Amino acid sequence: MTLLNALILAAAANPVAEAPQPNLELAPVLTPEDAENLNEWTGSFNAGGTISTGNTSRKSANAALDMQRRGEKDRWTIGASWNYGQEKDLATGIKTTSQRRFGAAIQYDYFLSEKSYALANAAGENDLLADLRLRGTVGVGYGYQFAEEENWKLATELGVGWYKKDYYNSPDEEYPNARFAYNWEARFGKGEAKNWVAAQDFNVLPSLEDGDQVYTRLDTRLRYDMSAAWFLQLQHIWEWDNVPAPGLRRNDNRVLASIGYSF
């Protein structure tokens, strides 16, 4: 028997094992847009403002930035917002700040399966009118992506963290907190354009030590896409701090109109 025949017989008796196939059930679901922009930052920036003169002297401005980077197994989400308002008493000429707040948040998601993910997040906000030098949170948790489609998205999250309120004029407060959140987005409209987008983000953070300490935020948006990049947006933000600084209200509402650019 020749050496070549021996090698052929050995190969037939011990076939090469097939290469292992990837477990597709563990890969997160990606929309066509996410798949196209994999490992790239995408997002939007919007800004708006109002000026009133005559019998009323009032100025206001708002801006927000939202960014996301989607990988094969993970996702980064970053957001920042700014609001400012000023009023002038026409009789005395005295100017008063009616709104001044800035906030930023970051979250990292690591997909454990097709739809579930572990997360870590942090957020901070300064609000002069609420006497808050800093409202800060850090936490970890678990999320589940019920739907991740081109025209419909829905996810819920559960977690724990640490919540701190650093006041300008009142005693500071901090405590461990639980967290429940959901976010959804729906795209709709006539034909294939579907240039209307409705979205909502909800967060509630109850204290694990004091049942009275509860912070809730509901952010609802309606957007009209004028083109592939430019859009108009109407936004309502409702916040509830069950134990605010002394003398201040628990309920806070803001309605913002803006023009934005997607990238």
Element (H, E) at 7: helix 3-13
Q: Can you list the residues of the chain whose pLDDT is less than 70?
A: 1-29
Q: What's the confidence (pLDDT) of residue 121?
A: 98
- Closest to 67 in 3D by CA, of 30, 94, 40: 40
Other C-beta atoms within 10 Å of 193: how many? Answer: 9
Q: What's the confidence (pLDDT) of residue 19?
A: 40
Other C-beta atoms within 10 Å of 101: how many? Answer: 20
Q: How far apart are the first and last CA of the chain?
A: 69
Tally of residues, the chain? 263
Element (H, E) at 10: helix 3-13
Other C-beta atoms within 10 Å of 10: how many? Answer: 9
Q: What's the confidence (pLDDT) of residue 183?
A: 97
Residue 177 contacts residue 203 (beta carbons within 8 Å): no
Sorted by where each starts, the structural domains of the chain and their CATH numbers stand as 38-262 (2.40.160.40)
Residues 251 and 228: their CA atoms lie apart, in Å, by 37
Residue 233 contacts residue 258 (beta carbons within 8 Å): yes
Residue 247 contacts residue 31 (beta carbons within 8 Å): no
pLDDT digits (tens, 9 = 90+) for 109-152: 999 999 999 999 999 999 999 999 999 999 999 999 999 998 99
Other C-beta atoms within 10 Å of 57: how many? Answer: 15
Q: What's the confidence (pLDDT) of residue 158?
A: 98
Q: Concatenated DSSP letters for 237-257?
A: EEEEESS-STT--SEEEEEEE
Go through 205-239 and write b for each residue having 16 or more CB atoms within 10 A of its CB, e for each that does not.
bbbeeeeebbbbbebebebebeeeeebebebebeb
Q: What's the confidence (pLDDT) of residue 83?
A: 97
